[in-house]
Structures are given as C-alpha cells and as structure tokens.
Amino acid sequence: MNRRRFFQVSALGSVGLMTALFVGEHTYGRALSAALVTKLSLSVLSDAEAVTLRAVALRVLDGAIPSPATDGGAAICQFADRYLQSLPTGLRRDLRALLHLVELYPLLTLKLARFSHLRPDEQDAMLSSWQDSRVGLFRQGFQGLKSLCCLAHYQDERSFASIHYAGPLL
C-alpha cells in the first residue's frame, strides 16, 4: 500500500468511526430505562457505564438463580458502584475505561451497534471472543468483569441456596 492509499483508507475509516460514534451517542442510554438510572444514584459509575455493566452482567449471569434480570440489573450496578468506591482511583479509572472499551468494541469490528444494543447471542459471541482472545488485555478484561459480576451476584443471600452455601458462620 502506498502512502496516498494509506491516507485515503485512514480518512475513510476515521469518518466512518466518527459517524458511528455520533449515531451511537444519541442512542447510548436507551437500554436501561431512565427511571432505573435515576433510582440507582451511582457515585462512581456514570449512567452509560451502568448500561454497559448491566448488559455484561445479564450475559455473564445468564441462568443464575435468582436471575439478575428480575430487578433489571440494578443490584449488580449498585454493588459494583459501592465496591468501586473502596478501590484506588487508578483502578476505578481502569475499570471505567474497560466498560467503555466493551461498549465500543463492536464498532471496531465493523458492527454498527454498541455492545448494549447487540442481540444476546451477539453479546455472548463477543464476550466469548474476549475470553479466548490471544490479546491479554481482552482476556484479563473479561475475567475482571466476570469476577465483578459474580462477586455482586453471590453476595446476595438469595443466591446461597443455588450453590449449597449455608451462609456465613457468624
């Protein structure tokens, strides 16, 4: 590829990405209802990050008892927000950046939708590709989000019976 062709492809790609981001910005928070977002009153996560975390949690915890979808994923988002308050600023920033990467990753793979707007099977395929990726950032990012979702789910006493846990000894 010569220099002129490289600049043409780069310019076209930049225009396409900017168009996708612009269109996506205007539809970003629709996956989580406005009423639920205002009920959450999150202090660390933004509404957009809560939308992404909710979408990831619903896929990672699909089939879990009790289903995280019963409250729309609000409990997961609230626990994660409280948990993030206890972390150093750098880790909070990294997790928030990871949530943005998850949300925007489909645009990088030329799907004109954000993660929270994909069908469940497409979300599963993307998360599975991250889980098995040769790129360490994707594998670690998936494991971190999976751990956060499981931590949020299994701290709920209603989930104890499904894993035959009698509860804390104290």
CB 107 within 8 A of CB 17: yes
User: What's the N-to-C CA distance of the chain in angstroms?
Assistant: 68
The answer to whether residue 86 is domain-embedded is yes
Determine if the peptide bond prior to 120 is cis (ω within 30°): no
Furthest C-alpha separation in the chain: 70
Cα 139 from chain centroid (whole Å): 14
Residue identified by tokens 């910005």 is 25
What is the Cα–Cα distance from 3 to 104, expressed in whole angstroms?
29
Residue 38 maps to a domain: yes
What does the pLDDT look like over 42-68, one tens digit per residue? 889 988 899 999 999 999 999 888 888
Per DSSP, the three-state class of 2 is coil
For residue 97, being part of any structural domain is answered with yes
Q: Is residue 170 part of a domain?
A: no
pLDDT tens by residue, 8-35 = 767 766 665 455 445 545 454 444 444 5
Count of domains for the chain: 1
Residue 23 lies in a domain: no
